[in-house]
Amino acid sequence: MQVTLHTLKDVLPTQVLVFVLAKGESITRHIFWKKVRVKDQSYLSLFAKKEFTAEEKECKVAILPSGKKALLIGKGEEKKWNYRKMFLLCRQIMQTAKEAKIGCYALAISDVVSTVTSETVEQIVAQSLIADYDFHIYKKRPQDGWPQVEELSLVVDAVTPELKKAAVMGKIIGEQVNGARDLANIPGGDMTPTLLAEKAREIGEKFGGLVTVLGKKQMEAEGMGAVLGVAKGSVEEPKFIIMEYSGGEQNDKTTVLVGKGVTFDTGGVNLKPDKAMLGMHMDMSGAAAVIHVFAALARMKVKKNIVALIPAVENMPGGSGYRPGDVLKSLSGMTIEIGHTDAEGRVILADALTYAKRFNPEKVFDVATLTGAAMAALGARASAVFSKNQKLIAQLKDAGEASGDFVWEMPLWDEYEEEIKGTVGDVQNVGKFSGKGGAITAAMFLYQFAKKYTWAHIDIAPTMESIEGQYLAKGATGAGCALLIQLLK
Ligand code: BES
Ligand code: MN
Ligand code: ZN
């Protein structure tokens, strides 16, 4: 999809105009009014007949006597309007346009935000792109192709270099979030640790990063007993992916991103029950997010040194699989007592968080579809964040509000450390009080391996999959990707 910026006088007659209206607002005050007033009075008739009352989320494709389409969308009451609703509105417009086979539409930025800034332009572009996304690589292409909006034309008072740049940035964000969704949506039978490593390599080559992939032998030599332990039940070889981008000075500290790369999570011998296993091909969504945060920052030529680390495994209940009660020697030297083979994500992340120390990190972020408990706590509208650093929490929350990739804090208090002490090993991969505070004990487990640097953990299990009413394609959302791009760019 192409994104263009125009002033009102450059809007072409072929473009479908989007009328964003608040309740009670007169259409004659609308910015596009000047364009249609003379030519097509019938826009008015919809209002006159009360066929469109501009309720929030009310959306109509109006076909005028001339045959020309217009898209009418309601904001509801102006005084109840907010920035969060803007994300949904932009997505709804895109999805409606797509369904109505509108190839190109013009949207006035000042209709959806009160101030036209680089940030708002960037977000409108990014949100439109993620709403345009569909995952159809496994489907036969229809004869007339997939419905697609070819051009998003944004109308501003003046086309400035800043706004042009913002549109480009928004495009990068949208494309990379969609890239993360593509990876996460690929079925588990295809998306193996090997394929994930190949995808990371491709991205490294395309955007100027160095990618190193450790295989099983090299991981054994390193002593990554945690990753190797989880991988034992699968015929798929585990991979440890290291991506490096040097946008900063040589002596600058590094930001390390760690992503959970479980390419399919059956639960292991503690097998997941029927429905719980569906969707577990997306258990590498954390990996997908960090790979594409990396790509975005490299494309934006961010002046920072960035490293992405991905432990990639498949969690299978094979005859050679790890068992409850097993003790794994992690890369840190600490031993991990396995209480449950389905709590595999934190185990593989332990080695990656230890490995992160080699880069003398300024900050470390991990992104992981870690716990169903986070989902129970927050529902599907925010990821859970944990950190000992309150400033970082505040920054993450702000980045969430600004990008629409929302997060909410959960506690990481020392008291919880009691709950993950091992009986035989140093730490245990599940909390003592089963079913209680599972997202927190998982975070506390990770913290045992992340004490030497500033760190935040983002549990994206809640937001891994889209829900109805978000105006997103079914499947992976790319959660964590827009959030970290926003924070780090
Ligand atoms: N990958 C799952 C968590 C998950 C569940 C992500 C649903 C997205 C949607 C994780 O590996 C897991 O199985 N966690 C267990 C931990 C438990 C055994 C302590 C969970 O949350 O039930
Ligand atoms: Mn699991
Ligand atoms: Zn998992």
As a whole number, mean pLDDT of residues 372-383 equals 98
Q: List the domain range (segments joined by +) for residue 276.
A: 174-488
Quote the pLDDT of residue 461. Answer: 99
Q: What is the CATH number of the domain that holds 439?
A: 3.40.630.10
Residue 334 has pLDDT above 60, yes or no: yes
Catalytic positions: 272, 346
Residue 91 lies in a domain: yes
Please indicate, yes or no, whether residues 29 and 85 belong to a single structural domain of this protein: yes
Q: Let me know: does 78 contact 23? Beta carbons within 8 Å.
A: yes
Quick one: pLDDT at residue 65?
A: 65
CB 143 within 8 A of CB 96: no
DSSP state, 347?
A: H
Task: Answer whether residue 34 is part of any domain.
Answer: yes
pLDDT at residue 11, rounded to an integer: 87
Q: Which of 157, 188, 213 is the last residue of a domain?
A: 157
DSSP string, 154-211: EE-SS--HHHHHHHHHHHHHHHHHHHHHHHHHS-TTT--HHHHHHHHHHHHHHHT-EE
Is residue 121 within 8 Å of 138, Cβ to Cβ?
no
Which CATH number belongs to the domain containing residue 27 in this structure?
3.40.220.10
Residue 48 confidence (pLDDT): 62
Closest ligand (CA of 372): 1
Inside any domain, residue 136: yes
Burial of 115 (C-beta count, 10 Å sphere; 0-12/13-18/19+)? exposed
CA distance 373 to 345: 14
Cβ(18) to ligand 1 under 6 A? no
pLDDT at 409 over 80: yes
Question: What pTM, to 2 d.p., does this model score?
Answer: 0.97
Q: Residue 12's pLDDT is what? A: 85
pLDDT digits (tens, 9 = 90+) for 241-282: 999 999 999 999 999 999 999 999 999 999 999 999 999 999
pLDDT of residue 5: 97
How close is the Cα of 280 to the center of ligand 3, in Å? Answer: 7
Q: What is the per-residue DSSP string for 271-314?
A: PPPHHHHTTGGGTTHHHHHHHHHHHHHHHTT-SSEEEEEEEEEE
User: What's the pLDDT band for 67 if we cut at 50, 70, 90?
Assistant: confident
Residue 219 sits in the same domain as residue 110: no
Instruction: Give residue 52's pLDDT.
Output: 87
Q: What is the mean pLDDT of residues 414-439?
A: 97
User: Ligand 1 pocket, 465 CB below 6 A?
Assistant: no
For ligand 1, what atom is nearest to the CA of residue 276?
7
Q: What is the mean pLDDT of the chain?
A: 95
Pairing of strands 327-329, 407-409: unpaired
User: Rounded CA gap, 12 and 15, in Å?
Assistant: 6
Identify whether the C-beta of residue 317 lies closer than 8 Å to the C-beta of residue 266: yes
What is the domain count for the chain? 2
Classify residue 114: in a domain, yes or no: yes
How much is the average pLDDT of 111-124? 96
Looking at the chain, the whole-number percentage of residues with pLDDT higher than 90 is: 90
Nearest of 395, 404, 378 to residue 459 by alpha carbon: 378
Residues 415 and 277 in one domain: yes
Q: Which ligand is nearest to the CA of 433?
A: 1
What stretches of 11-139 show up as alpha helix (H) in DSSP? 33-36, 43-48, 83-99, 109-112, 118-132
Same domain assignment for residues 215 and 117: no
Q: From the CA of 321, how far away is ligand 2's center (Å)?
A: 14
Q: Same structural domain for residues 115 and 185?
A: no
Shared domain for 134 and 219, answered yes or no, is: no
pLDDT at residue 105 tops 60: yes
**CA-nearest residue, atom 8 of ligand 1:** 461
DSSP 8-state class, residue 465: B
Same domain, 135 and 194: no
Radius of gyration of the chain (CA): 24
Q: At residue 450, what is the residue type? A: A
Ligand 3 center to residue 156 CA distance, Å?
45
Q: What is the C-alpha separation between 294 and 172, in angstroms, rounded?
A: 12
Query: Is 86 inside any structural domain?
Result: yes
> What is the C-alpha separation between 386 and 447, in angstroms, rounded?
9
Q: Which atom of ligand 1 is nearest to the CA of 280?
A: 1
Q: Domain check: are 39 and 182 in the same one? A: no
Whether residues 80 and 202 share a domain: the answer is: no
Establish if 166 belongs to a structural domain.
no
Residue 139, φ and ψ in degrees, nearest 5 = -115, 150
Q: What confidence category does residue 40 fall into, taking pLDDT thresholds of 50, 70 and 90?
A: low
Asked if 132 and 186 sit in the same domain, the reply is no
- Ligand 3 mean position to 444 CA, how many Å? 17
What distances in angstroms separate CA 186 from CA 179, 183, 196, 266, 353, one per listed residue? 11, 6, 10, 16, 26
- Domain shared by 132 and 233, yes or no: no
Nearest CA to ligand 1 atom 7: 372
Residue 430 CB less than 6 A away from ligand 1:
yes
- pLDDT tops 90 at residue 94: yes
Whether 343 lines ligand 1, by a CB cut-off of 6 Å, is yes
* 169 within a domain of the structure (yes/no): no
Least confident of 19-23, 43-47, 222-226, 308-312: 43-47
Domain closes at, from 157, 192, 214 = 157
User: Is the per-residue pLDDT at 318 higher than 70?
Assistant: yes
Residue 162 within any structural domain of the chain: no
The residue whose CB lies within 8 Å of the most ligand 1 atoms, and thus the one to mutate among 370, 378, 459, 464, is 370
Ligand 1 centre and the CA of 439: distance in Å? 9
For position 207, what pLDDT does the model report? 96
Is the C-beta atom of 337 inside 6 A of ligand 1? no
What is the pLDDT at residue 37? Answer: 59
User: Same structural domain for residues 180 and 131?
Assistant: no
Residue 428 CB contacts under 8 Å (≥ 6 apart), including other chains:
336, 337, 338, 339, 420, 421, 422, 445
